[in-house]
Structure 1
Amino acid sequence: MADERAALASARAHMVYDANKKSAGVAYLLCIVFGGLGAHRFYLGETGTAVAQLVLWFLGWVTVFLAWIPLGIWVLVDLFLIPGMVREKNMAIADSFSFD
């Protein structure tokens, strides 16, 4: 009777293990496809570092878009500055030649 219980407990433990074990292949696939999102770490139960990767991914995109704001303003200002910049450059070129 004790041997049967031990065998049953062992079989149950193996079944629970098989139901919960993680695949290295799945982890690699998640890392390659969704690496920056931390999906592979979520899959492996590393929630803290997965959230950190997800936050860094999000901040990376936010800062990229935030960098576009001053660049867009700069380009808009340049649209008004170009005539003067061209005139100034052309005058400098003309001054380098003698038109006597």
Structure 2
Amino acid sequence: MTGEAVSQKSIVIAYLFWFFLGQLGIHRIYTGRTGSGIIQIILGVLGWLTTSILIGWIFLIPLWIWLFIDIFLIPSMCRNPR
């Protein structure tokens, strides 16, 4: 380590981001997981833009499963931010 203290992120704020902006991956970006947050943004946007032609569900269902799993991962993501 270089002596720099990595600050923990607030679990409450992360859960609020997950609840209100989860399909945009904001909770992952907040905890330092920018790459996976961008993937969630892409899945959410593509999914909602293409639901009218039924392709969107291919993107949204995996995203929703991922968001459900994130409920349990958020505390560890906040304790160990990147």
Q: Which has the larger radius of gyration?
A: 1
- Among the aligned pairs, what percent are the same residue? 38
Q: Which residues in structure 2 correspond to 1:17-96 (within 5 Å)?
A: 17=6, 20-65=7-52, 67=53
Runs (4 or more) in structure 1 with deviation over 4 Å come to: none
In structure 1, stretches of 5+ residues that fail to align are: 1-9, 69-100
Name the SS for the 2:50 alignment partner.
helix
Q: Which has the higher helix share?
A: 1
**For residues 55 and 38 of structure 1, what CA distance do their matches in structure 2 show?**
9
Number of residue equivalences: 52
CA RMSD of aligned residues (A): 2.1
Per-residue deviation, 1:41: 0.3
**For residues 49 and 33 of structure 1, what CA distance do their matches in structure 2 show?**
18
- For normalisation by structure 2, the TM-score amounts to 0.55
**For residues 62 and 30 of structure 1, what CA distance do their matches in structure 2 show?**
22
Task: Tell me which amino acid in the other structure corresponds to 1:56.
Answer: L
